[in-house]
A and B are shown apart, each in its own frame.
Chain A
């Protein structure tokens, strides 16, 4: 199990979701991915994408400028 980071800053949704989806394709179940975003919409969309695709959001933290969403990869299909 390993921790990865994805820089999705300056991207407007749905691009942070697309980048997350594409990055996760190359990870294994149990890996973690921290996605750093600046679009406030990502805080809603990435968890929604995780819920419908079987992944788990384990942490969301934000500063004035950035939101970091940490995902635990679930079963991949």
Chain B
């Protein structure tokens, strides 16, 4: 009797990885999924803390995909090791701070380790030639296979027919004839295949799954590195870049201003790490001050805080400033006029 072959699928939660796993599953291969947590994942839940987004379905798409396929999903936290990928990408960045090629190599390498530890035979991904300008090109695919150390045990079912034969095909574990030859940025072939499989609901047909591909997010991360004087980060740093308005009115500090109740509540959890500002007697944002601030800086921060509160039309308002030790002081300030908040302060 033939040995039951096992494949580990990289599941991002998007359509391509869903289809790739399904194609291989349908060839009688036992498939389990891996999803990686880098800290930069575009998660519905990060947005879900915002009150206005709470009507959206709160689900993790990779878990949802695994449920649709009826496979196990293993979520691996690689956020600590991933820092080196973000900070020192061998193959450089894409349009923003997205190190897509290095990222893919790193993830396939991690999946390879998992595959070996758990007695699996090969890895599958939802890559499609030409789908992404940085990492999913015909010339980058051999680089991923080589640099990750997976070599011919990496199968891309959606474009396999356009690539050299891999071990699972060569050994007859999977039938190459039943694989695909998708290429280019069009999503139509994937959508047609999804319809064929009966998948009428899926996430982000053409979207990215990483905040580093976002121009606005990347500029905030660049600012963090520039003003910190070194290219480092902690998980809390990159989480906070997803939250609130970020303004740097002076080089020595920036303000993170909650945009609504959900964000204000979430930011409360950081009050022991940052000086916080809140307006008394008027509805308004929770504000975190990141950096070193003297009295003049605090006054400016209080004026800006007042600007974003319901007290903005009053002559003066009181702002409570609380340091990381919980010591409070009150400052009476004039809310900053809208035109005095300079565009270049916004990150």
Contact A44 B59 (CB under 8 A): yes
Return the contact of B43 from the options A10, A12, A40, A43 (Cβ within 8 A).
A12
Contact A15 B77 (CB under 8 A): yes
Q: Is B63 an interface residue (CB 8 A)?
A: yes
Q: Which B residues are in CB contact (< 8 Å) with A48?
A: 59-60, 63-64, 67
CB-defined interface of A20-31 with B at 8 Å, one 1/0 digit per residue? Answer: 010000000000
- In chain B, positions 170-191 with a C-beta closer than 8 Å to chain A are none
Contact B77 A18 (CB under 8 A): yes
Instruction: Name B236's closest neighbour in chain A (CB-CB).
Output: A10
Return the contact of B72 from the options A12, A39, A44, A52 (Cβ within 8 A).
A52
Name the interface size band of chain B.
Answer: 20 to 34
Return the contact of B63 from the options A15, A39, A45, A77 (Cβ within 8 A).
A45
- Please give the number of chain A residues whose Cβ is less than 8 angstroms from any Cβ of chain B in the complex: 21
Contact A17 B72 (CB under 8 A): no
Q: Within the complex, what minimum Cβ distance (angstroms) separates B78 from chain A?
A: 10
- In chain B, positions 70-94 with a C-beta closer than 8 Å to chain A are 70-77
Instruction: Name A20's closest neighbour in chain B (CB-CB).
Output: B75
Contact A17 B45 (CB under 8 A): no
Q: With A and B bound together, what is the CA distance between A23 and B239 in angstroms?
A: 23
Contact A13 B71 (CB under 8 A): no
Q: Which A residues are in CB contact (< 8 Å) with B67?
A: 48, 51-52
Max count, chain A CB within 10 A of own CB: residue among B35, B74, B77: B77
CB-defined interface of A42-60 with B at 8 Å, one 1/0 digit per residue? Answer: 0111001101110000000
Q: Within the complex, what minimum Cβ distance (angstroms) separates B81 from chain A?
A: 14
Q: Which A residues are in CB contact (< 8 Å) with B73?
A: 49, 52-53
Q: Which A residues are in CB contact (< 8 Å) with B64?
A: 48
Q: Is B203 an interface residue (CB 8 A)?
A: no
Q: Is B58 an interface residue (CB 8 A)?
A: yes
Contact A13 B269 (CB under 8 A): no
Return the contact of A44 from the options B58, B70, B76 (Cβ within 8 A).
B58
Instruction: Name A47's closest neighbour in chain B (CB-CB).
Output: B63
Contact A21 B75 (CB under 8 A): yes
CB-defined interface of B25-60 with A at 8 Å, one 1/0 digit per residue? Answer: 000000000010100010111101100001001111
Q: With A and B bound together, what is the CA distance between A29 and B40 in angstroms?
A: 34
Q: Which A residues are in CB contact (< 8 Å) with B46?
A: 12
Q: Which B residues are in CB contact (< 8 Å) with A49?
A: 63, 73, 75
Q: With A and B bound together, what is the CA distance between A18 and B44 in angstroms?
A: 16
Q: Which A residues are in CB contact (< 8 Å) with B269?
A: 10, 38
Q: With A and B bound together, what is the CA distance between A53 and B45 in angstroms?
A: 21
Q: Within the complex, what minimum Cβ distance (angstroms) separates A43 from chain B?
A: 7
Q: With A and B bound together, what is the CA distance between A51 and B66 in angstroms?
A: 10
Q: Within the complex, what minimum Cβ distance (angstroms) separates B35 from chain A?
A: 8
Q: Within the complex, what minimum Cβ distance (angstroms) separates A12 from chain B?
A: 6
Q: Residues of A at under 8 Å CB distance from B? A: 10, 12-15, 17-18, 21, 38-41, 43-45, 48-49, 51-53, 77
A-B contact pairs, 8 of them (CB 8 A): A12-B239, A13-B43, A14-B75, A18-B37, A21-B74, A39-B49, A49-B63, A53-B73
